[in-house]
Amino acid sequence: MCGIVGYIGEQEAYPILLEGLKKLEYRGYDSAGVALLSREGLKIIKAKGEIAALEKKVGQRFPDGNTGIGHTRWATHGVPSDSNAHPHCACTEDFTVVHNGIIENYLALRLWLEEKGHHFSSETDTEVLAHLVEHYYNGDLLKTVQEAMKSVEGSFAMVAMCQSETDKLVCARKDSPLIIGVGEGENFIASDVPAIISHTRKIYILEDGEFAVVTSSSVDIFTAEDTLIKKEIREITWDAVAAEKAGYQHFMLKEIMEQPQALRETMRGRLLNGGREINLAELYLTSEEMNDISKIYIVACGTAYHAGLVGKYVMEKILRLPVDVDLASEFRYRDPLLDEKTMVIVISQSGETADTLAALRLARSRGNKVLAITNVVGSSVAREADRAFFTWAGPEIAVASTKAFLTQLLSLYLLTLYLAKARGALDEDSFECAGKALFDLPAKVEAILSREQEIEEIAGYVSKWGSTFFVGRNLDFAVAMEGALKLKEISYIHAEAYASGELKHGTLALIVEGIPVIALLTQKAVLEKSMSNIKEVKARSGYVICFAQEGAEGLQNEVDHIFYLPATEDFLTPILSVVPLQLLAYYTAVARCCSVDKPRNLAKSVTVE
């Protein structure tokens, strides 16, 4: 996610902006910039890369100015570059903006503005905001911003500056966080508390649809209709370190809790009209190309590989196409069977995993077009793939991947339904039913997250064991694989995933009294079969913790603990069933006093073989 900092007061703004941007580095970024207003006019300095590159560009003599805005960019539209870095100006340097979020209709707005004579200097969606402000400016920056934002669809936290009103900063917020820090004779603006906590602990939290006019001595907050809002000042009690985690003890829990928003951001502009419509025009896949596919090959590592396993089940069931899923470290040395009608999909949160990158290069060397599903714009995988589908999960700091996994699943679902529509593989009703069920998932994830206490109690039992099993059939087996990886990589408990039907072929020998067996029973078609496997475990006194959909009959008395998930379409359950397994891994690791965010021996991105 991008980071925003603003200052207006008696001090030199630049040092405060720079310090604030450094406090937001944890959010992940690929370029940074500042804009300052002074008697000499506007000064903008921005640079690709780390904040050190910006400092180097500024040099020894930093620019004057008691009013300024700063930004760390996490690229969404347009690769990381000096010109795409924020702040952005309009045609003149009268108006400057910084923005965090996604402007869904930026292309239409850009064309409309270009027809009116505006010229653009970047590839970003954000720049349209500067030109809209310039277009609507009527001598009142607040009213101008209120008017400009009416035509914007998407998410935004934005701050605007204007050379003819140098005594104020104007903010607007919808679906992206923005706070205002209240000082003595000075005020601050930021995406998040860490950027300003060293200056003030008194903040206003801007809500969706609110606008603010911030001067050195006042903060006035308005509705879009210019009604003044009386807001309470909040006192931040966190320390600076806790603030980076938004008050959570670990980044992993913060990222688990961010999953509903990560899903909504990844759906934004793609799953439309309540789920009745899917728009993946960004993939530039022609109807002919989509109908020409005769096989799909998914390649990834670790958690991303488990997303691919879910993709296999879903794509084969809906598209009736053969789907291979391979570990990238195997694929690259397997001499894989690829032909010109094979669609290769690589999945990588970081976009820098060495094995996955090598697999991508191998597929391209065979002449196959490669689609990358990745969370990092400008990453090697994104740049070298023929097409990139970005998950908008925002930076994932914890080594254990959670929100990236959920958005990878969502991406595969969106792609499957998009291909199904193009290939006539689903009738209109089935397509709409699936799309609406997909659209409803973020709220269902929220419902599961609200029950984290139940999972913490289960973790109390699991944490006392050195070995556990995760079992499931069909899609549940794919999720069991992910659940086992989550638990083992952060709690160091040996966890193995098995297809339920495989237990009697060996694993049952390891079932001893009380050993935790986490059983996923979400797939109606194999519920009975899975139940008989659970009975095999219970007959050997295993301790069975079951996850099933609401409405599943006859399970209560057969297992030691049951956690009912909100009901949804069977093929969508992985997005729900993995969430309690993430929480289980997290609370088990906490109970075992493990290094949750940075587990031993592991790296967030494995950039070597």
Interface contacts to ligand AGP, rule CB under 6 A: 301-304, 348-350, 353, 356, 399-401, 489, 605-606
Helices (H), strands (E): how many in the chain?
20, 27
Instruction: Give the Cα separation of 450 and 257 in Å (integer).
Output: 9
| Closest to ligand AGP by CB, 489 or 570 | 489
Q: Which of 295, 369, 529, 604 is catalytic?
A: 604
Paired tokens of 140: 């009142």
Residue 402 beta carbon to ligand AGP: minimum distance, rounded to whole angstroms: 8
- Min dist. Cβ of residue 102 to ligand AGP (A): 22
Q: Do 199 and 15 form a contact (C-beta atoms < 8 A)?
A: no
Choosing from 2, 171, 301, 594, the catalytic residue is 2
Helices (H), 346-474: 354-365, 380-384, 403-423, 428-439, 441-449, 452-462
CB closer to ligand AGP out of 302 and 394: 302
Least distance CB 347 / ligand AGP (angstroms): 7
Residue type, 438: L
Nearer to ligand AGP, 233 or 606 (CB): 606
Three-state DSSP class for 274? helix
Facing residues of 371 across strands? 345, 387
CB 409 within 8 A of CB 426: no
Instruction: Report which of 441, 353, 455, 448 is spatially closest to residue 401, judged by C-alpha positions.
Output: 353
CB-wise, 43 or 488, nearer to ligand AGP?
Answer: 488
Residue 129 near residue 103, CB atoms below 8 Å: yes
CB of 586 to ligand AGP, least distance (A): 12
Distance CA 126, CA 114 (A): 15
DSSP three-state, residue 217: coil
Alpha-carbon span 86 to 63, nearest angstrom: 17
Nearer to ligand AGP, 158 or 373 (CB): 373
Residue 2 appears among annotated catalytic residues: yes
Q: How far is the CB of 590 from ligand AGP (least distance, A)?
A: 16
Nearest residue to ligand AGP on Cβ basis? 302
Q: Which is nearer to ligand AGP, 546 or 585 (CB)?
A: 585
Interior/surface letters 7-22, b for 16+ CB within 10 angstroms, e for the rest:
bbbeebbbebbbbbbb
For the bound state, the minimum distance from the C-beta of residue 259 to ligand AGP, rounded and expressed in Å, comes to 14
- DSSP state letters, 154-209: EEEEEEEEETT-TT-EEEEEEBS--EEEE-SS-EEEESSGGGTTTT-SEEEEPPTT
Fill in the DSSP letter of residue 526.
G
> In angstroms, what CA-CA distances link 79 with 49, 88, 125, 408, 541?
12, 15, 12, 21, 56
Q: Compute CA distances 143 → 137, 176, 184, 442, whole Å.
A: 8, 21, 27, 34
Smallest gap from Cβ 356 to ligand AGP, in A, equals 5
Neighbours of 476 (CB within 10 A): 30
Instruction: Tell me if residue 421 is catalytic.
Output: no
Rounded alpha-carbon distances, angstroms, from residue 430 to 418, 421, 422, 434 = 13, 10, 14, 6
Residue 305 Cβ, how far from ligand AGP at the closest point, in Å? Answer: 8
Complex with ligand AGP: residue 24 or 393, whichever CB lies closer = 393
Tell me whether residue 349 or residue 533 sits nearer to ligand AGP (CB atom): 349
Active-site residues: which are they? Answer: 2, 604
